[in-house]
Amino acid sequence: MAVSGMKSNVLTASPMTLLQVEKMFGNFRRELLERINGLDWMEESDRAEAKAKALQTTLHAGAPDILDDQSELEDLYANHVSLW
């Protein structure tokens, strides 16, 4: 991807950056759980379901190795129907 004449790889992140993203995600999840706990209007069964969903969220940072191989991507999307 060329940006202002410079080559840039947006798929590469340093280990430090990934650690920062993981920490940010953990903070997000913790805040979400606190907010769910503070919802007075929510039934307890709904609160338990919302907390379970929040705990099931996973972080996908960076890019999967498949993006490095154009032929694998073409195979993956061979039957994909474009909407545009």
- Domain boundaries of the chain, sorted by first residue: 13-60
Residue whose tokens read 């940010």: 24
Q: What is the 3-state secondary structure (H, E, C) of the chain?
A: CEECCEECCCCCCCHHHHHHHHHHHHHHHHHHHHHHHCCCCCCHHHHHHHHHHHHHCCCCCCCCHHHHCHHHHHHHCCCCCCCC
Give the tens place of pLDDT for each residue, 19-60.
898 999 999 999 999 999 999 999 999 999 999 999 998 887
Q: Is the pTM of this model over 0.85?
A: no
pLDDT at 6 over 50: no
